[in-house]
Chain A
Amino acid sequence: MVGITKDQVKHISRLSKLSLSKDEVNKFQKQLGEIVEYVRTLELVKLNDTAPTSQTTELTNVYRNDLIGVDGLDQKSALSGTEEVYNGYFKVPSIFKKV
């Protein structure tokens, strides 16, 4: 079993802005490793005659014209799903650390 390393788990948690305890790192190392291992079964499929693709629908060139739609939300509905608002804005914790 190849799995993933503790450093990889820590790297992913940093990217996700999650702080993990030591126990959690061990726990997710095992779980994520199992997932990777499971996905690895795809390597058994013979793909010599198959061209690589980035999608499965076989569609191309799906566009719309540059027109303004009518299905927008008003400010009240737009803000309805958030916890804190301020003068029509979504309010989030300061992204700047206090210097």
Chain B
Amino acid sequence: MSRFIPVIGLEVHIELATKSKMFCGCSADHFAKEPNTQVCPVCLGLPGALPYANFSAIEQTVMFGLSMNCKINRFSKFDRKHYFYPDLPKGYQISQYDFPFCVKGKFQIPNSKNQIRIRRIHLEEDTAKLVHQFGDSKEKGISLVDFNRSGVPLVEMVTEPEFSDVDSVISFLQEIQLLVRYLGISSADMEKGSMRLEANISLAKAQKSKLQSEDLPNYKVELKNINSFRFLRKALNAEIKRQKRILRKGGKVTQETRGYDEYKNITFSQRIKEEAMDYRYFPEPDIPPIRFSKTQIEDIKSKIPELPAAKRKRLEEKYGISKEYIEILVQDKRRCDYFEKSCEISGNKELSAKSIAGALINQNLDRKFESPYEFIRYLKKISKKYYSSLKEIEDAIQKVLSDNSKAVKDYHEGNSNVIGFLIGQVQKMLKGRGEPKLIRESLIKALQKD
């Protein structure tokens, strides 16, 4: 029986968290708002309205591209992509065609040796939101349109079809979500639709263990409308199974778009592409092209914070804590900052980074103590199992003073150097449990009373 290797590529859409929309000043924060209350002639597509590009959105797209090791096109422009649908009142979407902001990137899959090449990252406007109401048997269903989402800046990233296993797809996507959150350019929340996934998948017959480019299949099936990592994993596995079954019987897989039915755990046909989509792209005449200077790109680059991959490496080198702890901290930037601040405060003397991380993660002490200072003070307190009481200290001092009358005499004759020796003797009697400062104070008091 022949072996098949999955060939998977991804398309990821991310809504940018700008204040205003891509081409107008309406609020871009559209989730759960009253329908059609954040709209204007531009995002409603009314005749004569002119788009006016939001620079923050462009900057954030370039920042994302640089983080994905992309080349930034020094010359870029917007284009009109035409199609006919009720969520698109202009009859076209302003997108980017032949000069996207970012091209030819590469990105490391976490915990893997494999890199995935990024084909392009471009910026476009989101469409209106459609709500479908299915009527009863008499009434025909209707569709409802809310334009609050129309015109929200939307970044699209396209990878090369270089994934050959589902685990890599999921860890890649989770890393993208984390990266975007580190950059602060999107909440990348899939339930709210600010991160959306699409995968194209086909199976290649493997002649040898490694895939040769000539073995690439001549079809692909697109999986769309999948709104969680868990469902994507299931959908991909179900689709791989389906395609294997067809190919083993000597059949041909139809090129089409499929959705995923979570109840039946199968994919189902949504649309068969009879002819190649004809979007009739042309340059958007209402938006002048964009030229970046080298310094501008450098400037954007300098705004990129430490990213998850670099953070993992640094945490390992600097603190030597376990991979599990590192991952928990990297996933939660605030928690990681708290941890690092705590290590800084503790000064690495009495408390190891490991014990700080352990207490923080296993006991959730960062929730109990708002400030890392309080946290560390608490840790120091509990790490010394037992402190000698004042009474124990005073008793020990009396004993030491009577046992070392020579030293006491020296002290009264002006040799204050003996104090150190006496403190050492007291501490020895207390088995090291005395607080040095308290011993010193009590000792001097006792000597002066003598």
Taking Cβ atoms with an 8 Å cutoff, the residues of A that contact B are 11, 15-17, 54-55, 57, 59-75, 78-79, 81, 86-96, 98
Contacts and interface: CB of A to CB of B under 8 A. Distances in A.
B300 to A, nearest CB: 14
A86 B132 contact: no
B285 A55 contact: yes
B40 interface: yes
Contacts of A55: 283, 285, 288-289
Interface in B349-389: none
Given A15-B278, A69-B40, A71-B40, A63 B142 contact: no
B305 interface: no
Interface string B43-67: 0101000001111111000000000
Nearest to B85: A95
Contacts of B289: 54-55, 60
Interface in B116-170: 130-132, 134-135, 140-147
Contact of B20 (A17, A66, A92): A66
A73 B147 CA distance: 11
What 8 A-B pairs are tightest by C-beta distance, nearest first?
Answer: A69-B25, A54-B283, A89-B144, A66-B56, A63-B55, A94-B141, A59-B288, A90-B145
B141 A62 contact: no
Contacts of A92: 86, 142-145
B84 interface: yes
B224 to A, nearest CB: 15
Nearest to B89: A90
Nearest to A63: B55
A62 B41 contact: no
A81 B283 CA distance: 29
A66 B40 CA distance: 16
A5 B25 CA distance: 44
Interface stretch (B30-38, B338-346, B422-430): B30-38
Given A66-B57, A68-B27, A89 B35 contact: yes
Nearest to B86: A92
Nearest to B75: A60
A60 B86 contact: no
Chain B interface helix/strand/loop/mixed? loop
Contacts of A62: 52-53, 287-288
22 contacts: A15-B280, A55-B285, A55-B288, A60-B290, A60-B291, A62-B52, A62-B53, A63-B52, A63-B58, A65-B55, A69-B40, A73-B39, A75-B37, A88-B36, A88-B146, A89-B131, A90-B146, A91-B143, A92-B143, A94-B141, A94-B143, A96-B141
B244 interface: no
Contacts of A57: 288
B193 to A, nearest CB: 17
Contacts, number: 137
Contacts of A87: 35, 144
B19 interface: yes
A56 B142 CA distance: 43
A69 B135 CA distance: 38
Contacts of B134: 94, 96
Nearest to A95: B143
A71 B25 contact: yes
Nearest to B41: A73
A74 to B, nearest CB: 7
B204 interface: no
B36 to A, nearest CB: 5
Contacts of B142: 86, 91-94
A81 B41 CA distance: 11
A54 B77 contact: yes
* Residue picked from B34, B145, B285, most chain A C-beta under 10 Å: B145
A47 to B, nearest CB: 17
B303 to A, nearest CB: 14
